[in-house]
Structure 1
Amino acid sequence: MNAFHITNVVAVLLGLAMGLFLKNCMDLTPIEKMSIRIPGDSLIRMLQLVSIPTLTTSIVLGVTALTAEATKKIAWRGAAYILLLTIICVCLGLALVLLIKPGAGQTVGQGELEKVLPPLHAFLDVVRNMFPPNPIQACFQHHKTVLLPFTSNGTRSMVGSYVGGSSTLGLIVFSFVAGRILQDTLERSRILVDIVAVINAANRFVVSVILCYFPFGMLFLTANSILEVHDLETFYRLTKFLGVILLGLVLHSVVILPALYYWIVRRNPWTVVRGVFPALLTAWFVTSSTATLPVTLRCCESRNKIDPRITRFMLPIATTMNKHGTALYEAAAAVFVAQFYNINLNMGQLLTIGVASAVSSLGSSALPAAGATTTIFVMSLVGIPAKNAAILMATEWLLDRCNTVVNVLGDCFGVALIEALSLNELGVEPSNENAEEHMQDTQVPSTIP
C-alpha cells in the first residue's frame, strides 16, 4: 500500500470520527455545517476547474495522434461497448427490482400519473446540446426544455432555455471536429497542436498539485456526509432498495465487466482494477466522473500502461456517455417509486423506462447528483409525479457515490479492452513512452505511483 492510499484511508477514518463526534456531541447550526463542508467543496471545485480543459485537449490530442481510419474503427468499437453495457445494466436493474420488489408493502397511497414532456423533445434536447452555438457558452450552460403550466387557463406549454451546467456532449463534438481538422492539416497546424499539448501538460501538472490537497478535502467531505444523514428511519425503510441497487452494481463490476474483459482480452481483469484504484477512490468522494477524469487518465496511462492515443481519445467520451451505474440506478429507481406509491406499470411503460434510462444516461451530466435529476426525467416519461422522487433522497448520498465508481470502472475497462482490440490500427503495440513521444506531449511527474 503506497503513501497515496495510506493518506486517503487515514483521511477517511478521521473524517468518520470527526463526523460522528460532531453529530452526536455538538448541536451545529446550518451555517456551521456549511462551513465544515467548505474544504471538501474546494476540492470538488478544483477538480471541476481542470475537468473541461482536460476533456477538450485530450480529445484533440487523441484524434490528431490517430489516423482517420483508426479513429473511425476505434470510435465504432467504443460506441458498441458503451451501448452494449448500457443495455445490459438497464435490463439487470429492471430484472432485480421486478424480482425482489423492494417497494412492495410500503404503500403510501394510490398514486396517479401526470402529464409529461413528450420523449421526442427530450431527445431533441440531446441533439441541440451536441451542436452548441458557442463553445464558450457550452462550458457552463446547456439547453433544456421544460413543461410550464399557465395558471390562467390551466394549459401547459413547452419552453426551452439555457440552464446552468456544461454541455459536455457539445464540447466533445466540437473537440472531435477540431481534432479531425488539425489531423487533416497537420503539417500547417503543427504549432497549434503543440500549443494544445502544452496546455494538456500544464493541466496535468495542476492535477498533480490538486492531488496533494486531496486527503485534506476528503476528510471534510467524509465528515459532511455523516452530518447530512438526518432521517435514519427513512434510510432503514429504503434498505431493501439500497440492497437491490448495490447487488446490481456488484454483479456488474465483479462479474460482467471482468468476465467480458477476460473473454475478449484473455488477461487478468483485476490488474485493471488495481491500477485504477486511485481513480475509483477519487470518484467515490467527489461523486463526479468528469471531475475524476484527470486522475483516471493518469491511472490508465501511468499505472496500467494503456496507450495515451486510446485513453485521450476514448476516456473523455466515455466519461460523458458511458454511465453503467447510472443507467442501472435510473431504471430500478423509477420502478421502485412506482411500487412504493402503488402505481401499476404495464409492459409498455416498463419498456419506456428501460429505453429512457439508457438514453438519459448516455447524455446526462457527469456531475454530482446527476442520477437524481435524470431519474426524475425517466419517471416523468411514464407519468410518475416528480414529487414522489423525494423518497430517493435518503439514499442518494450513498448510491450516487457507488454509481460514479461503477461508471469510472466501466470507462477504465472499456479503454483497456478497446486498446487490446485496436493494436492493428495503432501499428504495433506501443510502450507508454513511445506513445507519449508520438503525441508530442510533455510528461509531468505523477503523484500517483
Structure 2
Amino acid sequence: MVSKKVQSLWKSNAELIFTLFGVISGIVLGFILRTFEPDPKIIIYINFPGEILMNSLKLMILPLIVASLISGLSQLDVKQSTIISKWAFTYYAITTTCAVILGIILVLVIHPGNPSIKGKTMDETPRANVSGVDKFLDVIRNMFPENIVEATFRQTSTEYIRLNKSDPNSLVLKINKSDGMNVLGLIVFCIAVGVSLSYLGDKGKPLADVFIALDHVITILVGLLMWYAPIGIASLIASKIMEIHDLGKTLQSLSLYMGTVILGLILHLFGTISIVYFIASRKNPYKFLRGLIQAAMTALGTASSAATLPVTFRCLEANGIDPSYTKFVLPVGAMINMDGTALYEAVASIFIAQINGISLSFGQVITVSITATLASIGAASIPSAGLVTMLIVLSAVGLPADDISIIIAVDWLLDRLRTCVNICGDAVGCAFVQAMIERNKPPRIHPSSNNSLPLPQDEESPTTYFTAESEFHANPRRTVQFEPMQQSSFR
C-alpha cells in the first residue's frame, strides 16, 4: 500500500522533484567549484547545458505566443474577450500598484542605504539620457510594428547619440532598431487576428484549426523539454555563482538592501497576491502557489518570464485553470505584469538616494511610485530588464544614474527572485480572471414543474415560460402534476 502511494507520488511529481534537485545541485556545485578559481573558459563550458536550455525555451516563445493567443481568442466571442481583458487589466493595475507602495514603505522604514556603501564596487554603467516620455513612446511604437516578420527579431528603441565627446550637450535623439523580439507588437497583432477569426465564425475555422493544432504541438515539445530542464537549470545557477567576484564581500555590503527587496517580494507574493486570489476564488492561495513550484524553479534558472512561459502553461493546466483564460492572460501578463520588477525599482531608486544622502520629498516619492509602475509595464520579459527600466526612474527624480553600478553586483540573484514573483503573479492573474468571470455569470434557470420561470431569450424573440403543461407536451411519457399558472407570468 505504501509502495503504491510512493509510486503514485513519484509519477505525478517526477518533473518537479528533478527540477528541485537541479536547483540544489546548481547551488552546491557553484560554491564548490568557486574554491578552485576556475578560468573563464571553464565557466563557459559549465554554462553550456544551460545555454542549450535557454536557447530551446526562447525558441518556443514565438510559436507559443502566436498559437496560444490566436487559438484561444478564436474560440471566444468578442464579448468574452472583452470581459477577460477587463478583469486581467484590473488585476494588473491592483497588484502592480500594491507592489510599488509596499516597496516604498519597506525601503523608507528599513532605510538600507548608507553613504559608506558607495564606491565599494568597480563596475561602471554609462549615464542614461532616455527620458520617461521616450520610453513610453517606444512602447507605443513597438505595439504597432511596420513589419510583422521584422517584429520577430527586432524592436524599436530610442537612443541619444553624442556628436561631440567633449561636449556633454551635443546629444541628438535617434530612433533605432535593436536586436530582440518585439513581443508587445506580436501580442497586439495576434490579439487582432484571434478576435477577427472569432468574428468570422465558421469562415475562419480552417485557419483557427491550424493554430489550435500548433498549440497542441508546442505543448508536446515543451513536455519533452522539461525532462532536460533540471540539467540546464543546474548549469545556469552554477556558472552564475562561479563568475561573481568577491561574492562574500558583495553580499555583506549590500545585505540590508537585498534583505529589503527579498522581504518585499515575499510579502507581496504570500501577502498581497495571495489575498487577491483568496478574495476572488475563496480558495486556499498557498495550495495554488504550491502547484507553481516547477515554474518558479525554472524562473530561478532562466531569469526570464518569457522563457518560463511554457512551464507556467503546464503548471496552470495541472492546477485546473481553463485554457481559454491562460492562452490570453499569460502571454500578455508576461509582457506587462511585472510586480516584482516594479517593487525592485521602487526600492532600488530610493536606496540610491539614501546612499547619496539625498532626502526625497513627498512629491518625489510619488514620482518614484508612478514612474516605477509605468516603467515596469514597459519592461521586456528578458533577464535584467529591470536594470534598464530603473534608469528611467532615477532620471525622473534627478538621481545619479551612474550609481546603478553599486547594485549590479547582486542583481543576478534579485533578478531571479523577482522573476519568480512575476510568473507567479501572472499565474494567479489567470486564476483571478477565471474566478471573477465565473462569479459574475448569471445563474442558469432550469424549468420547474410547479413554477413559471423564464429562460434567457434573444431580445427579438418573446419570453418563453415553462410550466408543468409545457413540460408534459415536451415529454408526454412523464407523469406530471398540473398546477394553475400564476397570473403574474403573463404579459
In 1: Cα distance, 2:37 partner to 2:184 partner: 44
Residue among 56, 69, 81 paired with 1:71: 81
2:14 counterpart of 1:3:
yes
Secondary structure of 1:186's counterpart equals helix
More off after superposition, 151-160 vs 96-105: 151-160
Q: Which residue of 1 aligns with 2:97?
A: 87
Letter of the structure 1 residue corresponding to residue 55 of structure 2: R
In 1: Cα distance, 2:420 partner to 2:343 partner: 13
In 2: Cα distance, 1:193 partner to 1:245 partner: 44
In 2: Cα distance, 1:12 partner to 1:83 partner: 32
C-alpha deviation, 1:67, in angstroms: 1.4
In 2: Cα distance, 1:340 partner to 1:210 partner: 45
Q: Is the 2:69–2:331 Cα contact (8 Å) retained in structure 1?
A: yes
Select the structure with the greater relative contact order (CA < 8 A; seq sep ≥ 6).
1
**Number of aligned positions between the proteins:** 423
Letter of the structure 1 residue corresponding to residue 43 of structure 2: K
More off after superposition, 146-155 vs 229-238: 146-155
Change (3 A) 1:70 1:350: same
Q: Which residue of 2 aligns with 1:440?
A: none
Q: Is the 1:272–1:412 Cα contact (8 Å) retained in structure 2?
A: no
2:269 counterpart of 1:253:
yes
2:291 counterpart of 1:286:
no
Q: Is the 1:107–1:339 Cα contact (8 Å) retained in structure 2?
A: no
2:147 counterpart of 1:137:
no
RMSD over aligned Cα, in angstroms?
A: 2.0
Residue among 158, 174, 198 paired with 2:189: 174
Secondary structure of 2:320's counterpart equals coil
2:259 counterpart of 1:243:
yes
Q: Which residue of 2 aligns with 1:122?
A: 135
Secondary structure of 2:28's counterpart equals helix
Cα displacement string for residues 92-149 of structure 1 (whole angstroms, at most 9, x for unaligned residues): 111111121111343648xxxx884342222111111111111121122111112232
Residue among 192, 201, 204 paired with 1:186: 201
In 1: Cα distance, 2:49 partner to 2:220 partner: 21
Cα displacement string for residues 57-81 of structure 1 (whole angstroms, at most 9, x for unaligned residues): 1111121121111111110111111
In 1: Cα distance, 2:270 partner to 2:32 partner: 35
Secondary structure of 2:201's counterpart equals coil
Change (3 A) 1:177 1:139: same
Q: Which residue of 1 aligns with 2:33?
A: 22
Q: Is the 2:131–2:392 Cα contact (8 Å) retained in structure 1?
A: no
In 2: Cα distance, 1:115 partner to 1:396 partner: 18
Q: Is the 1:326–1:407 Cα contact (8 Å) retained in structure 2?
A: yes
Secondary structure of 1:306's counterpart equals coil
Letter of the structure 1 residue corresponding to residue 305 of structure 2: S
Change (3 A) 1:197 1:103: same
Letter of the structure 1 residue corresponding to residue 270 of structure 2: V
Change (3 A) 1:288 1:427: farther
Residue among 163, 173, 192 paired with 1:150: 163
In 2: Cα distance, 1:229 partner to 1:426 partner: 53
Secondary structure of 1:225's counterpart equals helix
Alignment of 1:28-427 (within 5 A): 28-106=38-116, 108=118, 116-151=129-164, 154-231=169-246, 232-301=248-317, 303-423=318-438
Q: Is the 1:138–1:167 Cα contact (8 Å) retained in structure 2?
A: yes
Cα displacement string for residues 259-314 of structure 1 (whole angstroms, at most 9, x for unaligned residues): 1211222111122112222111111211111111111111112x111111111111
Cα displacement string for residues 307-341 of structure 1 (whole angstroms, at most 9, x for unaligned residues): 11111111111111111101000111111112122
In 2: Cα distance, 1:370 partner to 1:410 partner: 17
TM-score after normalising by structure 1: 0.90
Secondary structure of 1:367's counterpart equals coil
In 1: Cα distance, 2:212 partner to 2:443 partner: 23
C-alpha deviation, 1:43, in angstroms: 0.6
C-alpha deviation, 1:188, in angstroms: 1.4
Change (3 A) 1:125 1:47: same
Structure 2 gaps of 5+ residues are 1-8, 120-126, 445-491
TM-score after normalising by structure 2: 0.82
Secondary structure of 1:166's counterpart equals coil
Q: Which residue of 2 aligns with 1:444?
A: none
Change (3 A) 1:87 1:370: same
Change (3 A) 1:203 1:285: same
Structure index of larger Rg: 2
In 1: Cα distance, 2:264 partner to 2:129 partner: 29
Secondary structure of 1:329's counterpart equals helix
Letter of the structure 2 residue corresponding to residue 294 of structure 1: P
Cα displacement string for residues 370-412 of structure 1 (whole angstroms, at most 9, x for unaligned residues): 1112112322233333321011112111111110100111111
Q: Is the 2:19–2:294 Cα contact (8 Å) retained in structure 1?
A: no
In 2: Cα distance, 1:21 partner to 1:63 partner: 49
C-alpha deviation, 1:424, in angstroms: 7.0
